Amino acid sequence: MQKASKAQNILSIEQDGPIAILTMCRPERRNAMNDGLLERLDDFFSNPPEGVRAVVLTGSHGHYCSGLDLSEHVQRNAEDTLHHSRNWHRVMDVIQSGGLPVVSAMFGAVIGGGLELATSTHVRIAEPSTIYQLPEGRRGIFVGGGATVRVGRILGADRMTEMMLTGRKYNAEEGLSLGLSHYLAEEGKALEKAVKLAGKIAKNASLSNYFMINAISRISDMSRTDGLFVESLSAALSQTGSDAEEGLKAFLEKRAPVFR
């Protein structure tokens, strides 16, 4: 495994063939998010290294991400808070809709902004130590990194309201049943499983991955007729390229496809 770029102290970036592994490294703050870490994530996903087809996002020292770093909280007026929140939304959108499939390997704290970050990724694997929480409501503030959309659409508005009002914590098994994760791995095995799944995803046709990431979530926002039309457009574009030809040929020849 070789370094894909100069390692940043707060975000380690490694590339293993078509897979990039991003590790958040702020152990003294349980990998809490600050503007510097958000900027590093933005830099990577806005201009990923050549050849990367899938990403694994994880934390270090026993935690995924414990949310916004309140120790670096800056007192802002309403306008500045609005712009700060909208920048979070922009970066989370780049992660979710930029075109690269992202697999989260989660353990320990997945709290507040950490849960907002995790739910902007496409496949989520949790270890038994994982804890999910949205504590903002108990601290006199409101979520601002996209939780009402991303977490709310997984849990539903009613359950998210209760979660914020009471400060409830969900454990790994509860998170799996609710959809906060897709897989539950053994302790210490989430990263290994994430890399394995990312390798599998990286073998898909890149255009098919792009449509799966971008079309499905948008179709869920559309009316039935609009959604079906966009599905047809996505099918038409994906099924008429060289990768579709290779996929059909590989099926007939009983072998694994090799996409461009």
The residues assigned a catalytic role are 116, 136
Question: 195: part of which helix (H) or strand (E)?
Answer: helix 190-202
Contact (Cβ atoms closer than 8 angstroms) between residue 150 and residue 116: yes
Its sign, for the CA torsion 113, 116, 120, 121, is: positive
Q: Which two tokens stand for residue 168?
A: 């409830």
For the chain, give percent helix, strand, coil, nearest 5. 50, 15, 35
List the beta strands (DSSP E) in the chain: 2-3, 11-16, 19-24, 54-58, 102-106, 109-111, 123-126, 131-133, 169-171, 183-184
